[in-house]
Amino acid sequence: MESYHLKRIDFIFKNENDWKDVLSRALASDKQLILNELMESELKGRGGAGFPTGLKWKLTADEKSDEKHIICNADEGEPGTFKDREILTQVPFKVLVGMAICGYVIGALKGFIYLRGEYTFLMPELEKAIKEFEYYCKEINFKFSIKIFLGSGAYICGEETALFESMEGKRGEPRNKPPFPTKNGYLGKPTVVNNVETLAHTYTIFKYGAKQFYDLGVQYSRGTKLFSVSGDTPKAGIYELELGMTLEQFVDDFGDGDTKAVQVGGASGFLVPRKLFSQTIIGFKGKLEGHSLPTGGSMMLFNSSRSMFNVLSNYLYFFHEESCGQCTPCRVGCQVLLNGINEVKKGERSTLYLDKLLQLTETMKQTAKCGLGQSVANSFSSIVENFKEEMIY
Amino acid sequence: MGKNISITINGKKIEVPQGTTILEAAEKATFHIPTLCYHKDLCVAGNCRVCVVEQVGNQRLLASCATPAEENMNIITNSLKVRNARRHIIQLLLAEHKSDCTKCYKNGNCELQKIAADLRILDQEFTELKTWKAFTVDKHSPSIIKDDSKCIRCQRCVRTCAELQGVNALSVSGKGSKMHISTFMEKSMVDVVCTNCGQCVNHCPTGALVEKNYIEEVWMALADPEKHVVVQTAPAVRVGLGEEMGAKPGTRVTGKMVSALKQLGFDAVLDTDFTADLTIMEEGTELLNRLKMFLANGDKNVKLPLLTSCSPGWIKYLEHMYPEQLDNLSTCKSPQQMFGALAKTYYANAKKIDPESIVSVSIMPCTAKKFEAERPEMHDSGYRDVDYVLTTRELAIMIKQAGIELLQLEDSKYDSLMGDSTGAGVIFGATGGVMEAALRTAYEIVTGREVPFKNLNIEPVRGIEGVRSASVIIENALPGWDFLNGVELKCAIAHGLVNAKNIMDKVKAGEADFHFIEIMACPGGCLGGGGQPIPTNPEIRRKRTEAIYEEDEQMTIRKSHENPEVLKIYKDYLKEPLGEKSHHLLHTKYTPRDRY
C-alpha cells in the first residue's frame, strides 16, 4: 500500500535560517533577471485563481507611478483552508522576503499584510518578525516597510479589490474590473496582491532557481502546492504535494476507504463524486486530459455517512451570509438557491425546480461582479448535478 | 483628446473615443440596453447587472455600464445568453422585491416595473424570498418615506447622497442577504443628517424612496366649504409639470397649470414668484445694510459673505455641517414661508377672510419645503404659515386623479393679491437666479441705473458649473451709497450640496472674499429639485433651465422692485424692507444641529 502515497515535498515549511542571504542576494541582482526567473518557474497564484505571478509582477513593474504597493493577502477565509496560518506561524520570513523582493522588482516601498480578522492571535509573533525584518532592511540600506492590516471578518475582503476598499476604510465591496489592480489598486496605485503561499514559493524559487520548481508538477501546473486536508480522512492536516495528481491518487492516499466525494477548493469550489475521481486532475486549467480543477488548496473529503444535501445547504448558508450583497446575481441568487433546495426537499416545489436553479447558476457564473460571485454557484451545480437524488429524498 | 477605437455592436461597426463604455457606445449605435443602477448623474456602480452584454469569445457576460470599450471588441447586446441572463436577473430582483405594483406610489414610474414590462416577465420563476417582511417603512420624516421592501440595492440613493450632496445620510449596511440601505445607527430619516433635499427620491428607480404625500389632506381641504384654500406655485414647477403629463422637458405650462389649479377647486391661485420678488427686496436690503456696516462704518464683526436662505435643504445642511456659520445666513425666510406668513395676515386682511379658515397650500419642486413648513418657528401669522406642501409630482397626481387634460387647457392668469410676478421672481427656479435677481435690483437701488448687462441678462452668473463666481464694479453711486463707489461686489453661486461644501470650506477657512453667495441644495437649482418629475439628468435640467430663462424674457416686468404688488404691499402694509412688520413676518432664525 505504501506505493499509494503521494510524494511529500518540503519546500515551504523547510526551516531555513538563511532569509538574510536570500534577500541580500536578490537585492543585488538585476530586476529583470528576477522577473525572468519567476516567469520561467511558471508559478501561478496559490490563492486559487492561478494568475501567473511573474506576469502580475511584470505588469505592475511596467506601470509608471510615484507609488506602488505589494500586499500579502492573508485573509484566509475559504472554508476548509488553513495553510496560510501555518506559513505565517512557522516561516514568516519567507513571506516577508517574498514581499520585499516583489517591492524591489516593482518599485514599491511599502508592503502590507492583510490579515484575516480571526487571525489576530498571529499578530504578536508576526509583528516581532516584521520588526526584525525591517531592522535588517535598514542594516543593508534597503528602504522597505511592512504593515499589518487587520481585516474585520468579512469573507469578501479576500477578493483583491474588496480588500483595497477595506484597507482604504470603505465598505469591503469588490470594484469593477477593469481597471485591474496592477494598474489601479490600493489608493489607486499599481498594486500586486499575492497570496501568502505564493510569496513563500517565490522565496524557494529565488533561492534554488526556477528549474527545481518547474521540474515538479505537470504542464500548466508547475511546482508544488499546500493542501489543507479535512473531513472524513484519517490524515487531516496540511500537506505539500506536487500539482497534477488525479483526485483518485489523492483519495487513495488520504481517503478513509469510503470516500464518496471530495469538495475541491472550499465552499466556492467544486464537489467531485467518486466516479469522476480518476479523470479529475488537481491543477490549473490548460490542455490537460480530463477535468482540471484549480484550487486554493482546500480538500474536504466526505464519506458515505454524509448527506450531500446538508453539505450543500451549509455552503449556501455560508454564501447567503458572506456575499457582500452588492450585485444581484450573488446576493439574491444565493438566497434563491438556498431556499430552493429546501423547498424541493420539503416537496413544496417539484424536482424540476432544480433544473431551473441549475440554469440560474449559469447566469450567476456569467454575470456576477467579482470572482467570488462567479464561483458561489459552483458547489450548487456540482452537487446537484451529481447527487440529485440526495436533494430530493 | 484620446484616440478613437472601433468596436462592433450587433454587427454594426462604430468609432468611439477611448474610455467610452460599451453602454455609451451602444447608445451611440442606437441600441438600447436596459439599466437600473446606472444613472447619468452618478458614478458607475455596476451592481445590478441588468445591462450585461455578450462579448464574442468571452465565457462571461460584461456589465456594459462598467466596461470600457476596447479595440475590435465584438459585442452582442441581445443574444440568447444575454436574454436569459437578463431575465434571470430581473426575476431575482422581483423575487426579492415587494412587488405590489398596483398599490405602489411609484406605479407607472418605476424602472424595475418598466424593464419587467419591456421584457414581458410573465411568471415568477423563482420563489419569492419575502425577506422584505423584515423591514418597516420609515414614515417619520415630514419629507421622505423610506420603504426598504421596495429597494433593489442599486445604491443610486447612496451615491446621490454622497456624490451630489456630500451629505452621506444614506449608506449601505449589512452583508449578503442582510445588505440594505441604511442610515446612521438605523435611525429614522428624521433623526439623521438628512437635509430632506429629496435627490435620493429623484434618483430612486423604484418606490423605495418617495416623498411623503399630502394629496388626501389637500383634497379634504378643497372639499370643505368652510375653508378658503389658497395655493402658491414655485417658479420651477411651471417648467417641470408638463413632463409628468408627457410633454417634452422644457415645456412651459404656467397658464395651463393655473387653469388646472382653478379646476381642482383652489379658491385663489397665487404665485410664489411674488414673494420671491419680496425676498429680493428684503435680502437685497439686508446685503446692502451689511455692506454699509462693513465698508462705511468699518464694522469688522459684520458677517460676510451673506448666504442666501431660499433653499430649505441648504439651510438644514448648514445647520448640521457649519453651525458656526449660521450668522452668515440671511435671516429672510424662503419665498414659500414669506408667502405663508402673508397669506394668513396681509391677504386675509385685504380679502376680509378669517385667517383661521385659510388653508395655505404650496406647490413646490422640493421635498425639503415639507420639512420647512413644519419648522416650529414658521408660525408667525399666528397659525401654521403653510399648511400643506405638495411636490410637482403630487400636483400631477391630483390633476390626473381629477381627469384634467393639462396640456389641452387654455391659459389662465394668477389671481390677485400676491399673484403678480416678474422675470426676476421666475429665475429663482434656476441656479444663479436669486443672484441675478438680486443684482438687477441692488445695482439699480445703488446707482439708479440698470445692471450693465445686455437685455438685463447677467450671463456670468448663469450656467451649470457647480461653483461659479462673478463680480460687478459699482461706479457713480447715488448719494448715500458713496461708500460703494469703486467697490467690486463679489458674488458666488453653488448648486448641489457637494459644491456648497467646497465653497463653505473656503468661507470657513477665510479664503473666500465674496460678499454674497447663492446656494441651492439641488443640482441645477430648484428646477432640478427633489420634488420635480422623475427622471432627472443633466440634459433634462438644461432644458428646464432654458425654459426658465425664456419665461423671464417674455415677462414685461423683469425687476423685483418694479413688481406692482410688491410696491403696494410696502405702501399698504410692510412700510419698508427690514421694517418691523417684515422683521416679524418675513424673517426667521436658525437652529444649530448635530452631525449624524
Q: So what's the architecture of B215-274+336-408 in CATH?
A: 3-Layer(aba) Sandwich (3.40)
DSSP 3-state of B180: strand
Give Cα B350 distance to the centre of its chain: 33
B95 touches chain A (CB under 8 A): yes
Give the pLDDT of residue A286.
54
d(CA B395, CA B393): 5
Active site residue B330: yes
Identity at B333, one-letter amino acid code: K
> For B543-567, what is the mean pLDDT?
96
For position A219, what pLDDT does the model report? 87
As a CATH number, domain A308-392 is: 1.20.1440.230
User: What tens digit of pLDDT does each residue of B155-176 get?
Assistant: 999 999 999 999 999 999 999 9
B377 counts as catalytic:
yes
Locate the domains of chain A by residue range: 2-214, 219-303, 308-392
Helix (H) or strand (E) holding B389: strand B388-391
Measured distance CA(B538)–CA(B148) in Å, rounded: 27
Residue in A323, A340, A366 nearest the CB of B61: A366
Mean per-residue pLDDT over chain A, rounded: 94
Is domain A219-303 annotated with CATH 3.10.20.600? yes
Q: In 3-state terms, what secondary structure has residue A270? A: strand
Joined grid coordinates for residue A129: 518578525
Collapsing DSSP states into helix, strand and coil, what is residue A322?
helix
> What residues have CB less than 8 Å from A319, skipping those under 6 apart?
A267, A268, A330, A334, A376, B176
Do residue A366 and residue B152 have CB atoms under 8 angstroms apart?
Answer: no
- B122-128 long-range CB contacts below 8 Å, 24 or more apart? B124/B91, B124/B94, B124/B95, B125/A356, B125/B88, B125/B91, B126/A336, B126/A340, B126/A356, B126/A357, B126/A360, B126/B91, B126/B92, B126/B95, B127/A336, B127/A339, B127/A340, B127/A343, B127/A349, B127/B95, B128/B94, B128/B95, B128/B99
Instruction: Say how far apart CA B202 and CA B216 lie, in whole Å.
Output: 22
Residue carrying C-alpha cell 438605523 = B186
CB atoms within 10 A of CB B223: 10
What's the pLDDT tens digit per position in A137-194?
999 999 999 999 999 999 999 999 999 999 999 999 999 999 999 999 999 999 999 9
Neighbour count for residue A138 (Cβ, 10 Å): 12
| DSSP assigned state of A175 | P
Share of chain B above pLDDT 70, in %: 100
Instruction: Find the CB nearest A327 among B47, B60, B85.
Output: B47
Residues whose CB falls within 8 Å of the CB of residue B531, separated by 6 or more in sequence, listed in order? B198, B201, B211, B364, B365, B366, B367, B369, B391, B392, B393, B394
DSSP B485-505: TT-EEEEEEEESHHHHHHHHH
Mark whether B369 is an active-site residue: yes
Q: Does B50 touch chain A (CB under 8 A)?
A: yes
CB B189 within 8 A of CB B489: no
Q: What is the 3-state secondary structure (H, E, C) of B136-173?
A: CCECCCCCEEECHHHCCCCCHHHHHHHHHCCCCCCEEE
Give the distance, in angstroms, between the CA of residue B259 and the centroid of all CA atoms in the same chain. Answer: 24
Q: Is A220 on the interface with B (CB under 8 A)?
A: no
pLDDT reading at B130 higher than 50? yes
The confidence band for B99, taking pLDDT boundaries of 50, 70 and 90, is: very high
Q: What is the pLDDT of residues B414-465, one digit of tens each?
A: 999 999 999 999 999 999 999 999 999 999 999 999 999 999 999 999 999 9
Q: C-alpha cell of B254?
A: 404656467
Say whether A336 and B126 touch across the interface (CB within 8 A): yes
Helix (H) or strand (E) holding B390: strand B388-391
> Where is B233: in which H helix or E strand?
strand B228-233
CATH topology of A2-214 equal to that of A308-392? no
The secondary structure element, H or E, covering residue B467 is strand B467-473
CB-CB neighbours of A50 under 10 Å: 19
For A67, the grid coordinates are: 507609488
Q: Is B61 on the interface with A (CB under 8 A)?
A: yes
Rounded average pLDDT over A330-350: 97
3-state secondary structure of B261: helix
- Structure confidence at residue A49 (pLDDT): 86
Give the whole-angstrom CA distance, residue B432 versus residue B494: 8
Mean pLDDT, range B313-338, rounded to an integer: 97
Residue B101: CB partners within 8 Å, gap ≥ 6? Answer: B107, B110, B113
**Which of B348, B353, B333 minimizes the C-alpha distance to B418?**
B348
3-class secondary structure, B121 = coil
Q: Is residue A130 classed as helix, strand or coil in its secondary structure? A: helix
pLDDT band at B58 (very low <50, low <70, confident <90, very high): very high
Calpha distance B297→A122 (Å, rounded): 69
Candidates B153, B101, B92, B98; CA nearest to B126 is B92
The H or E element that residue A312 is part of is helix A308-322
Give the pLDDT of residue A288: 42
Range list of β-strands (E), chain A: 69-74, 110-115, 145-150, 191-195, 217-218, 221-222, 224-231, 237-242, 259-264, 270-273, 280-282, 291-293, 298-303
CA–CA gap between residue B486 and residue B491 (Å, rounded): 16
Beta-strand ranges (E) seen in B240-279 are 268-271
Residue B549: its H or E element: helix B538-553
**Span B379-413, pLDDT tens digits:** 999 999 999 999 999 999 999 999 999 999 999 99
Please report the sign of the dihedral spanned by the C-alpha atoms of residue B155, residue B157, residue B160, residue B161.
negative
Question: Cβ distance B147 to B157 under 8 Å?
Answer: no
Q: Do the Cβ atoms of B118 and B87 come closer than 8 Å?
A: no
Q: Which residues of B232-253 are buried (b: 16+ CB within 10 A; e: fewer)?
A: bbbbbbbbbbbbbbebebbbbb
Measured distance CA(B193)–CA(B171) in Å, rounded:
12
Answer whether B152 touches A (CB < 8 Å): yes
Q: What is the dihedral of CA A230, A391, B61, A281, to 10 degrees?
A: 40
pLDDT in the model for residue B474: 93
Q: What ipTM describes this predicted complex?
A: 0.95
Segment A325-346 shows an average pLDDT of 97
A2-214 has CATH 3.40.50.880 classification: no
Q: What are the structural domain ranges in chain B?
A: 4-78, 103-110+123-211, 215-274+336-408, 278-335+421-586
A17, pLDDT greater than 90: no
Pick the residue of A366, A369, A374 with the most B CBs within 10 A to test the interface with B by mutation.
A366
Please, is B367 exposed, middle or buried when counting C-beta atoms within 10 Å of its C-beta (0-12, 13-18, 19+)?
buried
H/E stretch holding B54? strand B52-55
Alpha-carbon span B109 to B103, nearest angstrom = 13
The pairing of beta strand B358-364 with beta strand B488-495: unpaired
Q: Please state the rounded mean pLDDT for residues B20-27.
A: 97
Q: What is the CATH number of domain B4-78?
A: 3.10.20.740
Binned at pLDDT 50, 70 and 90, residue A287 comes out as very low
- How, if at all, do strands B358-364 and B388-391 pair? parallel
Q: Where are the alpha helices (DSSP H) in B265-347?
A: 272-291, 312-321, 335-342
Whole-number average pLDDT of chain B = 96
Cell numbers standing for residue A96: 516577508
Distance from CA of B325 to the nearest CA of A (A): 30
Inter-chain residue contact B176 with A325, CB threshold 8 Å? yes
The residue type at A117: G
Residue B109's contacts (CB-CB under 8 Å, 6 or more residues apart) are: B534
Q: Which one, of A244, A242, A249, A234, lies nearest residue A10 by Cα?
A: A242
Residues 115-154 in A contacting B (C-alpha not used; CB under 8 Å): 154
Residue A60 has pLDDT above 50, yes or no: yes
Q: Check if B126 contacts A (Cβ < 8 Å).
A: yes
Residue B175 in contact with partner chain A when CB distance is under 8 A? yes
Q: What are phi and psi of A202, to 5 degrees?
A: -60, -35
Partner-chain contact A321 B44, CB within 8 Å:
no
Contact B249, B540 (CB under 8 A): yes
pLDDT of residue B529: 97
CA distance A94 to A101: 11
B477: DSSP letter: P
CATH superfamily of B278-335+421-586: Fe-only Hydrogenase (Larger Subunit); Chain L, domain 3 (3.40.950.10)
HSE of A14, CA atoms in CB hemisphere, 13 A: 14
Looking at the partner chain, which of A176, A326, A334 has a beta carbon nearest the beta carbon of B44? A176
Confidence of residue A290 (pLDDT cuts 50, 70, 90): low
CA of B62 vs chain A CAs: smallest distance (Å): 7
Q: Catalytic pick from B98, B212, B369, B370? A: B369
B103-110+123-211 is classed in which CATH architecture? 2-Layer Sandwich (3.30)
Specify which residues A228 forms β-bridges with: A238, A298
pLDDT at B595: 85
Query: Would you give the DSSP letter of residue A108?
Result: -
